[in-house]
Amino acid sequence: MSAGLSVKDLSVSHGAIKAIYELSFEVAPGELVALIGANGAGKTTLLRALSGLLAVQAGSASWSGNSLLKKKPEELVRSGIVHVSEGKSVIPELTVQENLAIGGLWRRDKADVRRATKESLELFPALQSRSNQRADTLSGGERQMLAIARALISRPELLLLDEPSLGLAPLIIEQIFESLKQLKAERGLTILLVEQNAMSALKIADRGLILNLGRLVGSGTPTELIHDPQLRSAYLGF
């Protein structure tokens, strides 16, 4: 029984089209793993399947030995698995404060929700002065920070992050990735980071997985992946 995330022979389809083929990998507790691949590689599909948004056709996925499959997303959040979906996963019509609050609505320990909110705002100080603004008035980077901050208020054990760098300026990407590094180091958070931006993701990851057309085509430490000329030219794009 694996203590972290264990995915075995997982297959996921969108209707008749198979998007993930018998995928197997593991993420140890406290590890930050970057899942890299081009558009259409199946990265987002994998995260949606792990967080209960998509049905799985075959295989298994578990966190700390407990199956993640056939569970609703809201149940998985309660088990410590929180997914920040692609595209600045915030509710534009709500204020920053309200977006943060929804991360803790289900939790009974309101004192800890307040603590977690304070910690999230310390991690992303740019949000502090914006608490009464609607989320659609924020910049792309601030929205991404808000999405991660909200996820942290649920006190996750495993954070599934889908393309947090999408559409952001390099400086902002650096800032967000630095925060992820800090979360891993200070809180021991396990992170599965899906990225197209291979270089930035590998800079902060313990390990990398390369996905192509639904199949795992490479895995290893960032140094191993970066120095593999075949993987580098075919999939990493640098």
Partner 1 sequence: MIVNTLLIGASSGAIYALMALALVLVWRSTRVVNFAQAGQAVLSTYIGYEAMNVTHSYWISVPIAIAFGALIGALVDILFMRVLAGRVQRGPIAEVAPVIATLGLLGLIQSVIGLIWGNAFVQYTSPLSGKGFSIGNETVPFSPQNALIVAAAAVVMGAFALVFTFTDLGLALRAASFQPEIARLAGIKVDRIRTIGWTFAGAAGAVAGVVITPTASLYPNSLDLFFVSGFVAAVIGGLESLVGAVVGGVILGIGFAFILQYIGSSVTFLAAFIILMIVQLVRPHGLFGHKASRHA
Which tokens in the block code for residue 57? Answer: 């056709």
Q: Report helix, strand or coil for 139.
A: coil
Q: Give min distance, CB of 71 to partner 1, in A.
A: 11
Q: How far is the CB of 81 from partner 1 (least distance, A)?
A: 10
Closest to partner 1 by CB, 56 or 216? 56
Residues 40, 65, 92, 237: which binds partner 1 (CB under 8 A)? 92
> Which one of the spans 3-11, 55-63, 135-143, 191-199 is the region binding partner 1 (CB under 8 A)?
135-143
For position 126 contacting partner 1 by CB under 8 A, the verdict is no
Contacts of 50 (CB under 8 A, 6+ apart): 5, 7, 61, 68, 81, 83, 160, 192
Q: Is residue 53 close enough to count as binding partner 1 by CB under 8 A? A: yes
Which position among 45, 117, 154, 165 is part of the footprint of partner 1 (CB under 8 A)? 154
Q: Minimum Å distance from CB 210 to partner 1?
A: 26
Residue 69, interface with partner 1 (CB under 8 A)?
Answer: no
Strands 207-212 and 215-220: antiparallel
Residue 96 touches partner 1, criterion: CB under 8 A? no
To partner 1, the closest distance from the beta carbon of 83 in angstroms equals 5
CA distances from 177 to 26, 33, 42, 133, 204 (A): 22, 13, 22, 24, 7
Could you tell me which residues come within 8 angstroms of residue 86 by beta carbon, excluding any fewer than 6 positions away?
Answer: 44, 162, 163, 166
DSSP 113: H
Determine, following the binding rule CB under 8 A, whether residue 140 of this chain makes contact with partner 1: yes
Residue 136 CA, chain-centre distance (Å), reads: 22
Single residue of 77, 173, 198, 236 touching partner 1 by CB under 8 A: 77
State in Å, rounded, how far the first CA of the chain is from the last one. Answer: 37
Please report, as ranges, the residues that interact with partner 1 according to CB under 8 A: 51, 53, 72-74, 77-78, 82-85, 88-94, 98, 101-103, 105-107, 136-137, 140, 143, 150-151, 154
